[in-house]
Amino acid sequence: MRDFTVGSVWGIPIRINVSLVVFLPILAWIIGSGTQIDVYAGIVNTFSPTQFDAATLTAGSTPWVIGAGAAVGLFASVGVHELGHAWAARRYGIGTQSITLWLLGGIAALDEMPREWNREFWIAIAGPITSVLTGVACYVVLLAVPASAPVVGFVFGWLVVTNVLLAVFNLLPAFPMDGGRVLRALLARSRPYESATAAAARFGTGFAVLFAVVGVLNSAPMLILLALFIYGAASTESRTVMLQGLLTGLTLRDVARLDAESIDADESVSAFTDRMIRDRRTVYPVVDAGETVGVVTLDAVRRTDAADHDTTRVREIMVDDLPRVPIESDAFEAFVELSAHPSGYAFVADGGAVVGLVSPEDFAHVLQFRRDGVEVGPREAF
């Protein structure tokens, strides 16, 4: 879904996802209707020097003003929470690409997630600490608001409670929420980072199931959406960390096929099909005048009419817009770049010349070897 950049802090773009634009009026309506104002008025009155009368707060259009102010204040607080993460990351020399506010809260996209336990601990816990400090700041404002402005005072009192709840909720060990990252950091003190991630991810999926059950039993769609997000994010990050661990210490030279036999771009698809059957291979680099210009696969043949195989040239069905990745690139970074390309393939370049081809299958083989404890070394020359 589309994001809108609304400003920047410390050079970090602050973005609002379209899901939040749609959800904010709904949240304002939820806060301003029903019994929420009555309930929160009772809570705020326990610590506020000014006592708020629920009847005054729910008269006329006042609830909708409160709802709008509280909804905007909530997501402003979420933005400040994410800035807390960004500030802590900056202390360790880690940049933040952007902060995005969306339906389920906020996401600070760091340039990298540190593997050192103490760095991750402080970056993760900085968000909840910032939320508590934001709640304290809202309380100071509440003390300064005159009794003649009950709506303003109540909204800031509501934000005191909400920021404290935000801090507590984020500290639940539901990886990849803040508490889950704190848990991983603590586990990583005494075990490998990959093992700590797997354990934290199991906690995350457990909480996702719990949230889903509670959401279904209480007809709470937001809790169900949160459960789906946590489950998906925990599983994805766990797999990513596992892959990164298995590829640690390897470069693209160790993964890529540098000895693959090629096929001429002017060969017919029919001849290419015979070649695949003979060699029992389904992927070939394509060369033209001695230069590697693309890749052709069995899938490309399947998309070609069988009646045209004799007249169609390989160059007509090959993929030629592949990215070029330097041969000494970190294997994991190359894997990420490869995953982002629609074809799944990339040229391997050495000094500007194409010397090989790398595919998801190459990474799959290397990963299997590493799982089995087999050392992986460079392939032969192309």
> Could you give the CA distance from residue 71 to residue 186 in angstroms, rounded to a whole number?
34
- Would you say 335 and 247 are in contact if contact means Cβ atoms under 8 Å apart? yes
Residue 85 annotated in ligand binding: yes
Find the helix packing angle between 193-217 and 178-187, rounded to 10°.
Answer: 150
Helix (H, G, I), strand (E, B) or coil at 341: coil
Phi and psi (nearest 5°) for 263? Answer: -130, 145
Residue 268's DSSP bridge partners are 313
- Would you say 89 and 97 are in contact if contact means Cβ atoms under 8 Å apart? no
> Could you give the CA distance from residue 150 to residue 4 in angstroms, rounded to a whole number?
33
Distances in Å between the alpha carbon of 64 and those of 22, 69, 149, 168, 293?
A: 16, 8, 16, 27, 63
- Would you say 349 and 370 are in contact if contact means Cβ atoms under 8 Å apart? no
Phi and psi (nearest 5°) for 8? Answer: -150, 150
> Could you give the CA distance from residue 76 to residue 73 in angstroms, rounded to a whole number?
5
> Could you give the CA distance from residue 227 to residue 208 in angstroms, rounded to a whole number?
4
**Rounded to the nearest 5 degrees, what angle is found at the Cα of 228, between the Cα atoms of 224 and 229?**
115
Residue 178 annotated in ligand binding: yes
The answer for 249, left when phi > 0, alpha when psi is -120 to 50, beta otherwise, is: left
Catalytic, 112? Answer no
Residue 321 annotated in ligand binding: no
> Is the CA virtual torsion 160, 165, 171, 176 positive or negative?
negative
* Token pair for 150: 């009950």
Phi and psi (nearest 5°) for 178? Answer: -55, -45
| E strand or H helix that includes residue 8 | strand 3-9
- Would you say 347 and 338 are in contact if contact means Cβ atoms under 8 Å apart? no
Distances in Å between the alpha carbon of 103 and those of 7, 217, 339?
A: 19, 22, 27
User: Catalytic residue among 82, 120, 194, 237, which?
Assistant: 82
Q: Is 93 exposed, middle or buried (0-12, 13-18, 19+ CB in 10 A)?
A: exposed
Binding residue numbers for Zn(2+) = 81, 85, 178
Catalytic residues: 82
Annotated binding site: 81, 85, 178
